[in-house]
């Protein structure tokens, strides 16, 4: 069976499009952690809020409700 040059080019283009669409459709999710959640160190929470002291963000310093 003899294939034409245009058929090969069309197949190559379709394969490349499939790969391109597959790569583009991949997505990543970035999970952020909020202040006071206990998941980030007190020093990092202090830097994010611009406070002078990390004491307010330390788990042992949190006021019980």
36, 45 Cβ separation under 8 angstroms: yes
Q: What confidence score (pLDDT) does residue 20 get? A: 92
CA 57 to chain centre: 25
pTM of the model: 0.39
Taking only the tens place, the pLDDT of each residue in 13-51 is 999 999 999 888 877 766 665 544 547 787 788 888 888
- Measured between alpha carbons, how far is 47 from 2 in angstroms, rounded to an integer? 69
pLDDT at 3 exceeding the cut of 80: no
Comparison of pLDDT for 1 and 12, the residue scoring more: 12
């Amino acid at each position: 069976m003899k294939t034409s040059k245009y058929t090969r080019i069309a197949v190559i283009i379709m394969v490349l499009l499939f790969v391109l669409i597959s790569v583009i459709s991949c997505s990543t999710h970035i999970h952020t952690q909020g202040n006071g959640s206990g998941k980030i160190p007190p020093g990092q929470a202090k830097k994010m809020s611009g406070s002078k002291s990390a004491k307010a963000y330390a788990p042992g310093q949190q006021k019980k409700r």
